[in-house]
Amino acid sequence: MYQNILFEVEDHIAIVTINRPEKLNALNAQTMLELRDVFVKIKNDDEIYAVIVTGAGEKAFVAGADISELNKLDAVSGREFAERGQEIFNLIENLGKPVIAAVNGYALGGGSELAWACHFRIASENAVFGQPEIDLGIIPGYGGTQRLTRLVGKTRAMELILTGRRFTAKEAYEMGAVNKVVPQSELLKEAKELAKTLASKPQIAIRMAIKAVNMAYETNLSDGLHLEATLFGICCGTEDFKEGTSAFLEKRKPVFKNK
């Protein structure tokens, strides 16, 4: 179906693999179009509960954008280029289903930005992150200035974006930018175990929780609490809520139907 990505679904878990290993999985225009298409399909598929995003091969998750395409941009097309990428990464962040970045190797520029847009990040020990756009005379355009700052704070983000320096998986973990660091041989296994756990949860509550947490950075506390109460109320009207509370009281394992 796709030229530059692989897509498979098993046990309600989708795996999206960016498949340009000869180009270190760089995000060219075709790959971005395919990412948008596959995530729209995932969003609309009620049988997919969790997603893993990774890169083909052992060298790179995504080693940035395609520089040969960047080189052709001007002020107008540059803004359009950034907005198209932001739309796709916003789709991932607001998918309503948990997305796990399994970061193997280099995650630079747009690769880091793709990881920041995911809800979870598990990195291999050899993973390397960075926002090196400054050395090309530009800034991150796919959300890096906003999401990295929210993840690690203004002080660290300012340093990383203005210097463009690369940082290791261990540093990323210590900053709070990744959830876990594992040997490369265990990366996909760890991601699948997390996805399996998330897929076993009541999916309406998962969707409401993602929406509430995402909104925490977009609004003030009062409006955030109002949203939380509204979403809590929606959950209380579901069959899964009745099943979860009944199972707890009856000391049995709940059987959720995502209704």
Catalytic residue among 34, 133, 171, 190: 133
Q: Please, what's the b/e burial string for 182-221 (b: 16 or more CB within 10 A of its CB; e: otherwise)?
A: beeeebbebbbebbeebbebbbbbbbbbbbbeeeeeeeee
DSSP assignment letter at 59? S
The packing angle between helices 29-44 and 75-93, to 10°, is 30
Distance CA 214, CA 224 (A): 10
**Cβ atoms of residues 124 and 169 within 8 Å:** yes
- Identify which of 183, 182, 111, 122 has the alpha carbon closest to the alpha carbon of residue 148: 111
Distance CA 51, CA 100 (A): 6
Name the residue with tokens 């995911």.
118
Distance CA 147, CA 132 (A): 15
**Is 193 designated active site?**
no
Catalytic residue among 22, 34, 113, 228: 113
**Is 113 designated active site?**
yes
Residues with a catalytic annotation lie at 113, 133
